[in-house]
Amino acid sequence: MLIGLPLRSQLRVSCISRCASWFTSITGSKRGARLGGAAPEGTGILPTSGGDSIFWSTKAQPELAMKVTHSLAQLQQDHVALELQCIDRLYLNAYVPKLTSAGGIAAFCRGYLGHRFASTKQAVDMTKAFIKSIETFIQREGLELVRFKKGQRKDDILQEKLRSFHREEGVIFVGVTQEKVRVPRTTRKALPGGGTIPWIIYSTAMINVYYFYCRDRDFGPFFIKFCSYFPYSAKLCINGHEYLKCQLTQRGIAFEPLDNGLLSCADLPTAQRSADGLTPTKIDTFFRKWLARLPHPFSAKDRRAGYRYDLSVLQAEFSLTQVWDRGLHGRCFFEEVIRENIDLGRPEQVQLIFGRKMQRKTATDGRCRTRIITEGVVPSLHVYYKNTHLKQYHKEGRALRTETTINNTYDFGVGRRLKNLPALRQIGQAANRRVLEVERLTHDCHIGTEAFDQLQKPAEVDGQHASALPFGQPRVQALLAVLVLFCLQPEGFRNRQLRPLLAQWLGISESQISPGRMSYDLRRLRLHGLIERIPLTQRYRLTTFGLKTALFYSRVYQRLLRPGLSQLHDPRTSQSADLARAFDKMQKAVDDYARENLAA
């Protein structure tokens, strides 16, 4: 189920619910005070109350309305039993560099094969020989040829075959299906003086594709698929977690497997080093090993002439798995994350997570967005940036999985060749870490009594005076709300960038805020320690204290005071609102207590 999330959509529940639970504990009410409003329709999430806190819990697990007073950072620090970074699924393109263009095909036909004109018909004999070698290989190895049906999940067939495959290494089965493939074809090109000649063009066609599902003692299950049409492009799919399990098994290190991961491990540092040891050189060696064992479309003579396969990255998944000591802790953490970070797909947030300067076209054409998907009672958070997909979900009720899938390396200015895998790994793992850091910062925004009191007073720093930042003052609230916009953070921000946003928030024209007044505001923010100037520039950036302060001011004011006071003082709701009734009950309890003590 998809939920559309506008730019400023927020679930106003966190601060208000904690205040309501405080009043509930004073008054002894079992019902609680629901100040945060209803959950979005269609999410399968219900507001629950009672006890010392109020959280969103699922219909299937009402016990998740548990007492959780720890911050997200504390939950991760105290209750994460295992943390592992690993390449997950790696989908590679195997291609012959000399045969990736029409000119290369023509050179192969004319220069290498020696034909007068270039035509794909001249590779027909190669194609027949390749298909014949596949058939001979299947017969010699006693393998089953599975003809995949439309809509059939190939992974399900692999898992079924693996249960009866007991060899440490070998080909499990071969599959064949028709797929749409981009291939070179021959057409007739008209010459200026009349007549035509064969000409190479590229088009798509439905071609038989052969899948070789195998098991390797070092890499575990994988598959290689070959297109049966010249120039015989291929794909290799491996899984980094399967590679890791094989390495741990060979070293005799005990571990408990998780579906596509680890649930526990006797030697976690060694497991992390093994996961990091999946290098381009090892992958290339592994690929060459199996090319030598499987039917090959190019002869040894062709390979000596330079017609050899090379590997490039089509899709790379980088995962961060955090296994919790109790599944309930992980579930509460993730539901808190979803509630507080439903806007991670905004251009401003994506730019912070991936460390990329966002172009206006990318920000406006829908390539940056957030989705919350609920399958049954298990929600997942999805963030999109161009062709890159970041997904976060609770895995098997025990682990929080954060994974970044890069579908186009050019999104980050990185080449596609396999040698660039370390750079892609760094980008993917950094994105996983950043999204967790953003989630922690946006949730753990408490600033402390002393720090709050100091913001209410003028500041003196090295003889420079700065006026106070009083909570609730409209201009201060608007200024801090604007600072929270993440688009201002990666490269910093200038005076002129802040002015139009502040004017929009205050509902006035930009001309009503002079550059001098904006400089005055920036100066007091800097002297109070909320922002700092980037050296040798006229740009500013938020400090960690500034971000937490801005979030605290904005959330308490927007989510607690405004809706709470409206319930208390609005004549239309003062008799029916839960908070108003709780206040009345508290006031009566205080009055009764005072009368009893005065009488005594």
What letter does residue 518 receive in the DSSP assignment?
H
| CB neighbours of residue 41 within 10 Å | 8
The pLDDT value given to residue 489:
56
Average pLDDT over residues 166-170: 93
pLDDT at 194 over 80: yes
* Residues making up the chain, counted from first to last: 600
Tell me which residue of 540, 243, 489 sits closest to 350, measured CA to CA: 489
Cis peptide before 62 (omega within 30 of 0): no
Residue 168 backbone phi and psi in degrees, to 5: -70, -30
pLDDT at 25 over 50: no
Torsion of CA 325, 329, 330, 336, to 10 degrees: -160
Burial of 304 (0-12, 13-18, 19+ CB in 10 A): exposed
Average pLDDT over residues 461-465: 86
* Contacts (Cβ under 8 Å, ≥6 apart) of 496: 515
pLDDT at 84 over 90: yes
Can you tell me the distance from the alpha carbon of 65 to that of 240, in angstroms, rounded to the nearest whole number?
37
Q: How confident is the model at residue 286 (pLDDT cuts 50, 70, 90)?
A: very high
pLDDT at 130 over 50: yes
Contact 98, 306 (CB under 8 A): yes
Q: How confident is the model at residue 433 (pLDDT cuts 50, 70, 90)?
A: confident
Task: Kindly provide the residue ranges of all beta strands, DSSP E only, lying in 167-309, ordered along the sequence.
Answer: 170-190, 196-216, 220-227, 234-239, 255-258, 261-265
The pLDDT value given to residue 56:
30
Q: 3-class DSSP state for residue 200?
A: strand
Q: 3-class DSSP state for residue 485?
A: coil
Give per-residue pLDDT as tens, 30-80.
Answer: 333 333 333 333 333 333 333 333 223 333 333 333 333 355 666 667 778
Average pLDDT over residues 193-210: 90
Q: 3-class DSSP state for residue 572?
A: coil
pLDDT at 3 over 50: no
Average pLDDT over residues 558-566: 78
Amino acid in position 63 = E
Average pLDDT over residues 308-313: 97
* Contacts (Cβ under 8 Å, ≥6 apart) of 424: 313, 316, 318, 406, 409, 412, 414
Q: Output the CA angle 585-591-597, nearest 5 degrees.
A: 135
pLDDT at 5 over 80: no
pLDDT at 29 over 80: no
Task: Note the Cα 583 to chain centre separation in Å.
Answer: 43
The pLDDT value given to residue 71:
58
pLDDT at 189 over 80: yes
The pLDDT value given to residue 133:
96
Give per-residue pLDDT as tens, 223-260.
Answer: 999 999 999 999 999 999 999 999 999 999 999 998 88
pLDDT at 560 over 90: no
The pLDDT value given to residue 544:
81
The pLDDT value given to residue 55:
28
Query: Cα–Cα distances in Å, from 224 out to 47, 171, 180, 214, 234?
Result: 49, 11, 17, 8, 7
Give per-residue pLDDT as tens, 311-360.
Answer: 999 999 999 999 988 766 666 666 666 665 554 444 444 444 444 444 54
Torsion of CA 78, 81, 83, 89, to 10 degrees: -140
Give per-residue pLDDT as tens, 568-584.
Answer: 777 776 667 777 778 78
Q: Which of the two residues, 277 and 553, has the higher pLDDT score?
A: 277
Average pLDDT over residues 388-402: 85
Domains located in the chain, CATH noted: 55-83+320-443 (no CATH), 97-231+278-308 (no CATH), 449-561 (1.10.10)
The pLDDT value given to residue 339:
61
pLDDT at 191 over 90: no
Average pLDDT over residues 291-318: 95
Q: How confident is the model at residue 564 (pLDDT cuts 50, 70, 90)?
A: confident
Q: How confident is the model at residue 24 (pLDDT cuts 50, 70, 90)?
A: very low
Average pLDDT over residues 149-165: 92
Q: Which of the two residues, 82 and 350, has the higher pLDDT score?
A: 82
The pLDDT value given to residue 342:
52
Mean pLDDT, the chain, integer: 79
Place of tokens 């050189």: 281
Q: How confident is the model at residue 221 (pLDDT cuts 50, 70, 90)?
A: very high
pLDDT at 484 over 90: no
The pLDDT value given to residue 16:
33
pLDDT at 85 over 80: yes
